Structure 1
């Protein structure tokens, strides 16, 4: 079929198709397969474009689309600029648009400010190529959904093809080639307006990860691959092997020694890596300064905007075999300080980040070794003078671009985790989230998504306005209250911190429908709730004397009804080089609860593999 025939048939059949069964529908097949094939045949053979199409994820979308991405310019439809076909919700026609991803814009700015940023971006792009003067500035998709409406304001130029008067093949192909030329030119002309509009990474809700699993599953390799995807092993990666005799923070952060008759600071690879992350912050153009808060207290802060933030790669500190030593002891300072991180965003998209000191000013600003320590940590150059003075006044805090990932094996040679540690981390059952598929040993078909540091510390109600699946946070509140009602009065009861992290997860993943929202809830249970639960039958009882695991399972089955018996979207992995990159998996919390119940039947249960 020709491009004209396919556009006509999909648009003409769309309104009727939306009221019919989604799975296996011929209109969805035409869009995902035949139209993708036709577009690929139209593109020059020398190009390496990624062509992706969507009719919905599990259910019909209100506005189906097909995107054309140049990986050197744009890697994801959630961010960046790309040509896209957008079908009207009522099937009356289709647009060819130079669009830009709305998901990351809304996540960083909120819907209202995202529209303003989109307007600025539209004007900037249209000023770069006069050919866009012949393309419409506005798009009318006649959509009633938040997501569908967002496509309307996220366009630098578009042409509408009515169903009743679809242009001939020559015109359609000519328009597409012109827009692809504009697309390439925009990238060459505005290095900061293409792939760097918003980084194509999944923001985490916490900067501290526990990767738990049996030996040999690739936990450390996972961290290395994350580093290679966003930075370099020589610059943005530090591997530290935890020793069994570590019992206090000085083992990790260094200590003052007087063996040679005068005080000197014995630093470690970890504190040197923190210093490297701080140098990167300065080198990327962020402003590090002193700020006085409402209480008259001065503190060190970092300021910048989202555009600059997209240039700052995450720095990964990997603590290998993290629980060979008692984590609560040698990691105590970090566990306390991590909760003092504060991100503030204003209405113009600028942020301020602050955090208490991990290494205090009194330790740094010591006459005997201050200059020696400055050289050890790599701050001797003049460009770091003001930063070092701030460290001497306020101490060295946790840099916002630092992610700590601890690899964990649970056996007779290791230590367990208290709820203090679990509450401050994202715990991943590595085999469940990133399974070893032997069929992909020689050639991988899937890969983890790129992960990046959090950009929020406290969830705010206004941030939910851009969340299509839960714009008023009502579903998140109802879910949290339902599961906490089971845990009430037990050692596993949740509080404000857990609810804040549930909200941050929803904001970070920005689910567009109920199935994706249920997937966020499912992963929250796996990362934040189930790791806290362990014990025998006496301990695992509700206030009413019911079996806690069974009662918990019943409640979750109701809350996650849409995915409990079927598949759900994998939020952290994707297919490689596929037109449809979405991976589907079984409900993780259901599988884990069944395993924990089986363990309990033998006398004792816990989350850990």
Structure 2
């Protein structure tokens, strides 16, 4: 028999093997106890025991995400912070009872399964665990098998969907893991290995890159080693190359001029023995071809039907790595000559964590503080801040909006004590920016507001790699457009300057009277390490938002309340804050042109096509979106794909919920027609709109049935809520509660 639909694919995203081990531990405990709802502590013990037994038997295991290097040394307390990540990842099928400290499958699902389903699920988890580790055996990896696997399978794989494609996952996960096992890669802790077959859609030119983090962590900029596969898969090039995105921001003519100059400079200082040094690298028949030609320093070319033996492939890569290391050393030495030692010694140090690891740590920290938020809320909050440094948290009072901002900031090392977190309560009498930014007193001295003070602190050179959080509490007690308009306008002027994201000037020096004020506050800008979060309650005491405000923010709604959630019991091993660099949150893309390259082009076009269809619907009630929202939605989805946080459908669902639906309000039939059309998009099926325009109660009367197959379930639920309000009250809005 086959597993029910709700169980298929639950292990498809395998960042670690914890999900499989958790399911096995839960099923073992259920079988032994005979209970449907079992002790969470017992599941934790089994979870740890399974991993310790595999380790002691010499079977492969993922290393623990704790200070301990072996599972034998992991304590029960440390298991707490490990196990909550897979529990959250399997939230669609699991229920955790904080009050009783139990874990179970969701009752509605368990009632529809028989014992045979549970038995098959256990076998499935075991098989996926073995497959997972089998795929990761470094002894099976060779450069030749990796290259030939892509060359021989890529064109066929491109005919299939990219999502969960086996070749795609092999390239993204197994190939980098294999390269990291090579001695001359593993010995360098600064090396980062990354591979890509596209974001959302298949790439024209897939690649495998080796980067020294001291030079670059992105293939958009800097110098790195990269295998580039020809579009027709006839050959692959091992190259020492440069990122082209940043140089081309000044136009391709200037960009190519810079890249060629850099090529000649690097060729003059490195031996590059045995490598080809010309522009005869041919990968595509389209526009990417020229970029690769002018940016490549030197290369080896391998034909698909004549790959060298493994020893030669390893020797070639070793030669390129040796040259690359020499180049990195030259660059570092040059930097040290230019920078005083006192500066480099005072630069903050940050742990080298992936986005997922950092967010999992933040969630564990927040749980430890006694707070629990819905699944994917932290990921959504992170992506929203990454997309634009202004986010609105909306909902009924007392749901934890302000606490989320404070605890998320704390988890990343930004606290009240170190000045990286600032709570600013908004007053109802605010009518201009003076209370936030500042004003001149009767003596013509500038009195800075709280926002100006934190921006000044964040812009200091020693602080530019630290994130600063500002929480504007009860933001809409006053009219946002009156006191916040200057900030909103200035945020739209973000640009890169000397490797920092800055805006136009917020405080003009000419408006300041004293030389001391001009020196201190003149030319003050909003630095790229300041993140603004507004909390709002939508009731009769507050002011509504204009589209100008909504366009510039992701609006995350807090109306999901589960009163029977209780704090997790404290553990001996406390989860401590993990300071994060500003790069973790800072936007890479400020305009669409920044992201419009390589495999991201197709992903952007795919997202835009969906927005075009939605815009055609919205235009009938003059609620359609512009380029600002188009860009923001594209960036959100790109960041999600890069970090592998959730599916494309889940990410677009959240963007539809947060960027599209808040724009809709009204009382006429046209609004209802738009809501029904958007519901069709969310449900991915046709509706009888002619009948439903008169009475749609059959839809919102049974929410679970209506949305059970929805492609965008969160948006579908919100639309149904808005339809119900329209029929019952004669007026609807996203904000009604």
Q: 1:550 aligns with which of 652, 676, 687?
A: 676
Cα gap change, 1:605/1:485 in structure 2, threshold over 3 Å: closer, same or farther?
Answer: same
Q: 2:438 aligns with which of 249, 254, 264?
A: 254
Q: Output the TM-score relative to the length of structure 1.
A: 0.63
**Cα separation, 2, equivalents of 1:519 and 1:104:** 30
Residue 256 of structure 1 contacts residue 265 of structure 1 at CA under 8 Å; is this kept in 2?
yes
What is the CA deviation profile of residues 360-404 of structure 1, one whole-angstrom value per residue up to 9, with x for unaligned ones? Answer: 844x22xxxx25645xxxx36xxxxxxx7xx4xxxx564464645
Number of equivalences: 498
Q: What residue in structure 1 maps to residue 552 of structure 2?
A: 425
Q: Are 1:338 and 2:490 matched, yes or no?
A: yes
Residue 203 of structure 2 contacts residue 599 of structure 2 at CA under 8 Å; is this kept in 1?
no
**Cα separation, 2, equivalents of 1:413 and 1:192:** 62
Residue 225 of structure 2 contacts residue 239 of structure 2 at CA under 8 Å; is this kept in 1?
yes
Q: CA deviation at 1:427?
A: 1.7
Look up the SS of the partner of 1:156 in the other structure.
strand
Cα gap change, 1:465/1:33 in structure 2, threshold over 3 Å: closer, same or farther?
Answer: closer
What is the CA deviation profile of residues 559-599 of structure 1, one whole-angstrom value per residue up to 9, with x for unaligned ones? Answer: 9xxxxxxxxxxxxxxxxxxxxxxxxxx99965224224235
Which blocks of at least 5 consecutive residues in structure 2 are unaligned? 1-139, 336-353, 356-382, 560-564, 569-573, 686-708
**Cα separation, 1, equivalents of 2:676 and 2:654:** 19
**Cα separation, 2, equivalents of 1:251 and 1:330:** 11
Residue 238 of structure 1 contacts residue 318 of structure 1 at CA under 8 Å; is this kept in 2?
yes
Q: 2:473 aligns with which of 321, 338, 348?
A: 321
| Alpha-carbon RMSD | 5.3
Q: What residue in structure 2 maps to residue 598 of structure 1?
A: 721
Residue 471 of structure 2 contacts residue 533 of structure 2 at CA under 8 Å; is this kept in 1?
yes
Q: What residue in structure 1 maps to residue 659 of structure 2?
A: 528
Q: CA deviation at 1:505?
A: 6.0
Q: What residue in structure 2 maps to residue 179 of structure 1?
A: 320
Cα gap change, 1:608/1:68 in structure 2, threshold over 3 Å: closer, same or farther?
Answer: farther
Residue 65 of structure 1 contacts residue 84 of structure 1 at CA under 8 Å; is this kept in 2?
yes
**Cα separation, 1, equivalents of 2:154 and 2:486:** 54
Cα gap change, 1:467/1:326 in structure 2, threshold over 3 Å: closer, same or farther?
Answer: farther
Which one has the bigger strand percentage? 1
Look up the SS of the partner of 1:94 in the other structure.
strand
User: Which moved further from structure 2: 206-215 or 169-178?
Assistant: 206-215
Residue 205 of structure 2 contacts residue 229 of structure 2 at CA under 8 Å; is this kept in 1?
yes
Residue 12 of structure 1 contacts residue 92 of structure 1 at CA under 8 Å; is this kept in 2?
no
Q: Are 1:93 and 2:235 matched, yes or no?
A: yes
Look up the SS of the partner of 1:52 in the other structure.
strand
Q: Are 1:168 and 2:337 matched, yes or no?
A: no
Q: CA deviation at 1:478?
A: 6.6
Q: What residue in structure 2 maps to residue 130 of structure 1?
A: 271
Q: CA deviation at 1:405?
A: 0.9
Look up the SS of the partner of 1:247 in the other structure.
coil
Q: CA deviation at 1:271?
A: 2.1
Cα gap change, 1:416/1:470 in structure 2, threshold over 3 Å: closer, same or farther?
Answer: farther
What is the CA deviation profile of residues 214-238 of structure 1, one whole-angstrom value per residue up to 9, with x for unaligned ones? Answer: 416733444566787xxx9999945
Residue 17 of structure 1 contacts residue 27 of structure 1 at CA under 8 Å; is this kept in 2?
yes
Q: What residue in structure 2 maps to residue 218 of structure 1?
A: 404
Give 1 or 2 for the bigger CA radius of gyration.
2
Which one has the bigger helix percentage? 2
Alignment of 1:243-322 (within 5 A): 243-245=426-428, 247-248=430-431, 249-258=433-442, 262=443, 264-276=445-457, 316=468, 318-322=470-474
Q: CA deviation at 1:408?
A: 1.5
Which blocks of at least 5 consecutive residues in structure 1 are unaligned? 195-199, 284-310, 381-387, 560-585
Residue 220 of structure 1 contacts residue 320 of structure 1 at CA under 8 Å; is this kept in 2?
no
Q: Output the TM-score relative to the length of structure 2.
A: 0.54
Q: 2:422 aligns with which of 233, 239, 249?
A: 239
Look up the SS of the partner of 2:312 in the other structure.
helix
Q: CA deviation at 1:533?
A: 2.7
Look up the SS of the partner of 1:190 in the other structure.
helix
Q: 2:585 aligns with which of 439, 451, 471?
A: 451
Q: Are 1:66 and 2:208 matched, yes or no?
A: yes
**Cα separation, 1, equivalents of 2:181 and 2:546:** 56
Q: Are 1:156 and 2:301 matched, yes or no?
A: no
Cα gap change, 1:325/1:520 in structure 2, threshold over 3 Å: closer, same or farther?
Answer: same
Q: What residue in structure 2 maps to residue 7 of structure 1?
A: 147
**Cα separation, 1, equivalents of 2:179 and 2:492:** 51
**Cα separation, 1, equivalents of 2:331 and 2:612:** 48
**Cα separation, 1, equivalents of 2:503 and 2:665:** 35
Q: What residue in structure 2 maps to residue 564 of structure 1?
A: none
Alignment of 1:48-59 (within 5 A): 48=189, 49-57=191-199, 59=201
Look up the SS of the partner of 2:301 in the other structure.
strand
Residue 139 of structure 1 contacts residue 155 of structure 1 at CA under 8 Å; is this kept in 2?
no
Cα gap change, 1:137/1:243 in structure 2, threshold over 3 Å: closer, same or farther?
Answer: same
**Cα separation, 2, equivalents of 1:94 and 1:59:** 21
